[in-house]
Amino acid sequence: GAVVSQHPSRVICKSGTSVKIECRSLDFQATTMFWYRQFPKKSLMLMATSNEGSKATYEQGVEKDKFLINHASLTLSTLTVTSAHPEDSSFYICSAEGAHSNTGELFFGEGSRLTVL
């Protein structure tokens, strides 16, 4: 089956530093990946859609200069939280669509919990 892996699963950083989270499709090529943010006991909030080889499309209210997304290959997308602040602490999840998907089914990574001190 389609497997998506996120790394790191947990990260703690100091305020003002930058953190990179990787999302990899292990056994399929993902032309489109999605990044979500999930607050405690809340649903997933779509942050941005990344397409391989092009700029990410950010949802309204998401700061593109703060949340840098790169999708340089068909198997890797990265989310960099720049100059992190405590309010950026959250659970970040990525998902991917298969290159030949025609159903919209998403394959999710395990999530990355970011804690900013």
Partner 1 sequence: AQSVTQLDSQVPVFEEAPVELRCNYSSSVSVYLFWYVQYPNQGLQLLLKYLSGSTLVKGINGFEAEFNKSQTSFHLRKPSVHISDTAEYFCAVTDTGGFKTIFGAGTRLFVKA
Q: 3-state secondary structure string, the chain?
A: CCCEEEECCEEEECCCCCEEEEEEECCCCCCEEEEEEECCCCCEEEEEEEECCCCCEECCCCCCCCEEEEEEECCEEEEEECCCCHHHCEEEEEEEECCCCCCCCCEECCCEEEEEC
- List the one residue from 40, 65, 87, 103 that touches partner 1 (CB under 8 A): 103
Work out how close the CB of 16 gets to partner 1 at its nearest, in angstroms, rounded to a whole number: 26
What is the footprint of partner 1 within residues 38-57 (CB under 8 A)?
41-44
Assess 113 for contact with partner 1 (CB under 8 A): yes
Judged by CB under 8 A, the number of residues near partner 1 is 23
88 binds partner 1 (CB under 8 A): no
Query: If binding is defined by CB under 8 A, does position 25 make contact with partner 1?
Result: no
Question: Which stretches of the chain bind partner 1, using CB under 8 A?
Answer: 4, 6, 32, 34, 41-44, 91, 93, 95, 97, 101, 103-111, 113
